[in-house]
């Protein structure tokens, strides 16, 4: 079964940053790589489930018009709201996924350090919900700690393998290290350079 809400409530009860997102160079570097992997300079609507205390959320907010974040822990939601208090286009809600998937359409869904807490059935449902919520040119970014985590139903490799099989989307970016896996899938397989050159030609022609 998927990891219970009480696990996350306990983590945040005694520590506002249980994974040291703010202090560790590893975490700051990983966030920078996640942002660099995004093929679009800007997005209309981004969804970040499992936002924790909002460190990645704050950086995603600079790349979009609207940001929706959620977490199963009420304390995490409070911390993320505090982190994003000066970001009027960001909203943070409490929800357990995939059961409480929010309404809306997103051109980017960020699946960071969340997949291995789900069992296989919930992961399948999560992916199905994500596919329904994506826009026709939507993208999914996934990033997960690679070593096995005690009491988690899945590991990073299994999560990314299932994503790759079930999404049936183009994998535009893949960066795998000893510590983590980072992949991005898109419904549009146009490369960044090709898209930018096409935009330049349209601008030059006045269309």
The chain-wide mean pLDDT, for the chain, equals: 94
CB distance 32 to 12 below 8 Å: no
pTM (two decimals): 0.93
| pLDDT given for residue 18 in this prediction | 81
CB contact set of 19 (below 8 Å; sequence gap of 6+): 27, 52, 113
| pLDDT given for residue 204 in this prediction | 66
Neighbouring-strand partners of residue 173: 184
Q: Is 34 left (phi over 0), alpha (psi -120 to 50) or beta?
A: alpha
| pLDDT given for residue 203 in this prediction | 67
β-strands 106-112, 43-49 pairing:
parallel
CB contact set of 114 (below 8 Å; sequence gap of 6+): 49, 50, 144
| pLDDT given for residue 24 in this prediction | 95
Q: Which residues of the chain carry a pLDDT beneath 50?
A: none
For the chain, the structural domain boundaries read 5-205
Share of the chain above pLDDT 70, in %: 96
**What 8-state DSSP symbol labels residue 62?**
G
Domain 5-205 class? alpha beta
């Amino acid at each position: 079964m998927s990891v219970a809400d009480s696990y996350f409530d306990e983590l945040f009860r005694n520590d506002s940053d249980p994974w040291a997102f703010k202090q560790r160079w590893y975490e700051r570097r990983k966030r920078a790589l996640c942002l660099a992997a995004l093929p679009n300079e800007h997005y209309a609507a981004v969804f970040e489930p499992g936002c924790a205390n909002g460190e990645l959320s704050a950086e995603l907010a600079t790349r979009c018009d609207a940001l929706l974040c959620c977490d199963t822990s009420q304390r995490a939601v409070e911390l993320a709201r505090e982190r994003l208090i000066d970001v009027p286009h960001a909203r943070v809600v409490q929800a357990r996924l995939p059961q409480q998937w929010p309404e809306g359409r997103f051109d980017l869904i960020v699946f960071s350090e969340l997949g291995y807490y789900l069992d296989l059935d919930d992961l399948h449902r999560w992916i199905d919900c994500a596919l329904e919520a994506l826009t026709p040119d939507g993208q999914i970014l996934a990033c997960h700690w690679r070593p096995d985590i005690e009491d988690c139903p899945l590991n990073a490799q299994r999560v990314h393998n299932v994503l790759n099989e079930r999404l049936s989307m183009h994998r535009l970016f893949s960066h795998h290290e000893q510590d983590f896996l980072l992949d991005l899938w898109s419904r549009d397989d146009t490369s960044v350079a090709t898209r930018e050159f096409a935009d330049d030609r349209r601008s030059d022609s006045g269309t």
